[in-house]
Structure 1
Amino acid sequence: MHYTVKDILEIQVAPALGCTEPVAIALGAAAAVSLLPGKQIDDIEIWVDPNIYKNGLAVSIPGTGGLSGLDMASALGAFGGNAALKLEVLDSVDAVAVAAAQKMVKSGRVRVNLLRDQVGLFIRTIVNGMGHVAESVITGLHDNIVSMTLDGSAVRDHDLLPKARSADGKSRLENLEAWLKELSLDQLLELLDDLDDEDLRFLESGVEVNMRLADYGLKHGSGLGVGRTLERLVRQRLIKRDMITAARILASSAADARMSGVKLPAMSSAGSGNHGLTAILPIVAVEKFILVDHRILLEAIGLSHIITAYVKAYTGRLSAICGCSVAAGAGATAGVTYLMGGTKQHIAGAIKNLSEDLAGVICDGAKGGCALKLATAAGTAVQAALFALQGVNVSFTDGIVGRSSEDTMKNIGTLTTQGMIETDRTILNIMLEKQFSDV
């Protein structure tokens, strides 16, 4: 099976309002409620995999004034979500829905179950109302609703359900990722030749969407205020506004806004809004320092999405490693190198430089502190590109770095899927101990 860059953008890149884990939980609830006659909601029960649980635990939910929690996300989706909006399901939530969700959570009528041994993204939601029982199941992708049932009977024909799977029974994402894994860096770069005007307009919309978040975070000092603090340090001449600092400011400002629950969407990449911020904004920041045609910027962002998708095909959608660092970071450094006129060899070197630098960054859930990690990933992406362009390339004899950028990205995947399983469990246990302690 053959895919194009248009397929990659269609499957991997989409607007998302709020952190995608609580959003996916809200989507599951909204989908189930859409089946209920009368739409009365008596109680909700959800089952989620460890990584959905980890990433939905503490992050603020957009439009709620800072509310958080998996139970709250589910209740919000049930009372005010519009499942037809997919990853923007919470755009329709208003004050009435927030109040109803708070009341339901406070009364203990939303139960959250952690499936500790579940591998891969999984959300099952059951909603009871007026004697009826509606259920939805999401797997693989944050907006991939694979089944819906009402009173035990499967709903076959519904707009929210995916189109028929391929003859081998695999989803479009599974087939796309299998195809991506077979490609070389040369072939990934060649995909850019197929970008048409529609693709370029879509890539431009991603810049606009993510820049709105960055501008909001800078103006209001949202969340942890990492971006605004960096900007203040520049104005006080304590640090200098160079390419690296500019990239850090844009990425962290957008993360500040997004992680604090600002009701603005992000253009996601590989299923994550923060991946999308990292994949796009460092490249936008660098453009202001060089002389380059705007189309090249959009091509560079297209390459960033492609490389991000390539790495995620090996690491999986959610893991113990910070995907903003190792996946979107790899995409961003490839894009920055391309933007600055680098060759394939330069791009390969930049990816290896970044991987050596950031491979050990863990994912300890979505929260305000992610802005710090995005600042690091964005700055390192630019630094890795600049180093590669100056002939600095990590040797394949170093640690997990391979002979090629492809081998290096595969090694990152092996580290994630085989070496970090116990790390992921330990991270979650630490988070759970904090959650349930009396301190």
Structure 2
Amino acid sequence: MTYTVKDVLNAQVAPALGCTEPVAIALCAAAARSLIPGEDFDSAEVWLDPNVYKNGLAVTIPGTGGLSGLDMAAALGAYGGDPSLRLEVLRTIDEKVVEKARAALKQDRIKVNLLKDKRGLFVRCEVSGNGHRAEAIIEGLHDNISFMALDGELVESPLVRPRTAEGKSPVSAMELWLKSLTLNDLIALTDQLNDEDVAFLREGVDVNMRLAEQGLKFGMGLGVGKTLERLARQGLMRRDMLLAARILTSSAADARMAGASLPAMSSAGSGNHGLTAILPIWAVKDYVDNVDERQVLEAIALSHMITAYVKAHTGRLSAICGCSVAAGAGATAGVTYLLGGDARHIAGAIKNLMEDLAGVICDGAKAGCALKLSTAAGNAVQAALFSLQGVNVHHTDGIIGLSPEDTMRNVGTLATDGMVETDRTILDIMLSKRFSDVQ
């Protein structure tokens, strides 16, 4: 089966309100809760794979006044989430919902379980109440509800995404196709863009720019973007395209990780990936002469394609920071394209970026992600500029392959096979730290 650029954009790019791991938990809980009659429920229990558990552990949930937690995400989804909104499931919560969720946690009615040996994105939620027990499962993709049941009986629901004729989920089928493509194939996909696609890509820019503007205005979270902007105004850092990319991207991450009630246009299932895939390219355009908006949006489309390609190899979640190696690769490809580079230059930029950032770990979603997005954005621009000047990492170096496809596959192998124990160790450290904090 083959897909069009519209298919990829529809499947891989979507607005997401809040970090997508707590959102996936809230969505699963909301889907299960929707099957229980009545206005209340007795209890909810959630089972999570290690990566969803890790990423949702400490990040602020939008609309809660600074609250966080896996159990809180489940409670919010069950009490006030609208599952039909998918990754914007929490758009409907208000103060009353937050208070109900707080009360449920105090009464120990929400339980969270870690599935230590589970591989791949997985969320399962059971909600009990009014003599009924409902269940929902999300797997593969943050909003891919694959199963719903009431009292042990399968429920047909428009919320459940159908499988292909071969029994594969839509996500896995598309990822298999993506893995079969070459870099030239991915670049060629941008030729298929129509006016509707271009308008959608521009919407993604507008959505993510609102987050960046919020972060810059209020210095939210760590205030990385606001600090970089201040240093530039003080003359302590030179404002160039690298710094511009870092400021925009980190400002948006500051706002998002602090729980701003604004959606991000996500890429490959992650809002922070979306910020990294889009904003560095949008920042660089101001330093390029004779470029029109259509070319900029084509570059962003290529960025989304490359991001999806790398994530097809690494998996949705892993011990490697996807903003660095996946969205970073997308961003450097897009910047190189925007600066007039051809496929050879784009290949070199991707290799440069991978050599530079493949060792960046993912230790969960939190305010500090703004630092990593700042690094990814700046290094994406640098990798592009280096390649355009003939600086390219040689294939004999480390995990770098003969081709960009080989390099991206090698990073996927590193993420899926080589860093499994690293991932467990990261989560163990995070859990022991939180336990110590409680003590």
CA distance in 2, matches of 1:112, 1:172: 28
The separation in 1 between residues aligned to 2:399 and 2:167, in whole angstroms, is 34
Map of 2:48 onto structure 1: 48
* Aligned-pair CA distance for 1:129: 1.1
- Partner deviation per Cα, 1:212-254 (whole Å, 9 max, x = no partner): 0000000000111000000010011100110000000000000
1:371 Cα deviation after fit: 0.3
- Written as runs of structure 1 = structure 2, the 5 A alignment for 1:289-304 is 289-291=287-289, 292-304=291-303
Give 1:353's aligned amino acid: N
Tell me if structure 2 keeps the 8 A contact 1:82–1:90.
yes
Structure 1 SS opposite 2:287: coil
Structure 2 match to 1:147: 147
Partner of 2:333: 334
Question: Any residues of structure 2 matched to 1:52-63 within 5 Å, and which?
Answer: 52-63=52-63
Q: Which runs of 5+ in 1 are unaligned?
A: none
Q: Deviations over 1:65-121 (max 9, x none)?
A: 110000000000111111110000000000000000011112211100000001111
SS at match of 1:71: helix
Contact 1:5-1:192 at 8 Å conserved across structures: yes
Q: Which residue, 221, 227, 231 being the options, matches 2:229?
A: 231
Partner of residue 267, structure 1: 265
Code of the aligned partner of 2:255: A
Map of 1:433 onto structure 2: 432
* C-alpha distance in structure 1 between counterparts of 2:170 and 2:57, whole Å: 29
CA RMSD of aligned residues (A): 0.7
Q: 1:280 maps to which residue?
A: 278
- SS of 2:38's equivalent in the other structure is helix
Cα separation, 1, equivalents of 2:153 and 2:177: 35
Aligned pairs for 1:104-119 within 5 A: 104-119=104-119
Partner Cα distance (1:88, 1:399) in 2: 41
1:257 aligns with 2:258: no
Alignment of 1:160-199 (within 5 A): 160-163=159-162, 165-199=163-197
Which is worse superposed, 65-74 or 176-185?
A: 176-185
User: What is residue 245 of structure 1 aligned with on the other side?
Assistant: 243
Task: Return the alpha-carbon distance in structure 1 between the equivalents of residues 39 and 382 of structure 2.
Answer: 53
The 8 Å contact of residues 33 and 39 in structure 1, kept in 2 or not, is answered as: no
Correspondence for 1:366: 365
- 1:279·1:301 contact (CA, 8 Å) conserved in 2? yes
Shift of 1:333: 0.1
Q: Which amino acid aligns with 2:99?
A: A
Deviations 1:295-329 (A, max 9, x none): 00000000000000000010000000000000000
1:409 is matched with which residue?
A: 408
SS of the aligned residue for 1:429 comes to helix
Counterpart CA distance in 1 for 2:255 and 2:202 is 20
CA-CA distance at 1:265 after TM superposition:
0.2
Q: Distance in 2 between matches of 1:320 and 1:227?
A: 25
CA distance in 2, matches of 1:377, 1:107: 42
Q: Distance in 2 between matches of 1:152 and 1:187?
A: 45
Deviation of the 1:168 alpha carbon: 1.2
Q: Give the match's secondary structure for 2:112.
A: strand
Q: Secondary structure at the match of 2:422?
A: helix
Partner Cα separation in structure 1 for residue 86 and residue 417 of structure 2: 32
TM-score, normalised with respect to structure 2? 0.99
CA distance in 1 between counterparts of 2:303 and 2:245 reads 15
User: Partners of 2:233 and 2:29 in 1: how far apart?
Assistant: 46
- C-alpha displacement of 1:40: 1.4
Q: Check conservation: 1:47, 1:115, Cα contact below 8 A.
A: yes
AA aligned opposite 2:232 = V
**TM-score in terms of structure 1 length:** 0.99
Identity percentage over the alignment? Answer: 69
Cα distance in 1 for residues equivalent to 2:139 and 2:201: 27
- The answer for the alignment partner of 2:39 in structure 1 is 39
Write the letter of the residue equivalent to 1:342: G
Please list, as runs of the form range in 1=range in 2, the aligned pairs for 1:68-107 lying within 5 A after superposition: 68-107=68-107
8 Å Cα contact 1:39/1:129 also seen in 2: no
TM-aligned CA deviation for residue 33 of structure 1: 1.0
Give every structure 1 segment of 4 or more consecutive aligned residues whose post-TM-superposition deviation is greater than 6 Å: none
Instruction: Give, in angstroms, the shift of residue 408 of structure 1.
Output: 0.5
What SS is found at the alignment partner of 1:14? strand
CA contact (8 A) 1:35 1:134 kept: yes
**Residue 39 (structure 1) shift:** 3.2
Match of 1:23 in 2: 23
Match of 1:216 in 2: 214
Separation in 2, partners of 1:339, 1:126: 48
- Aligned residue pair count: 437
CA distance in 2, matches of 1:189, 1:117: 37
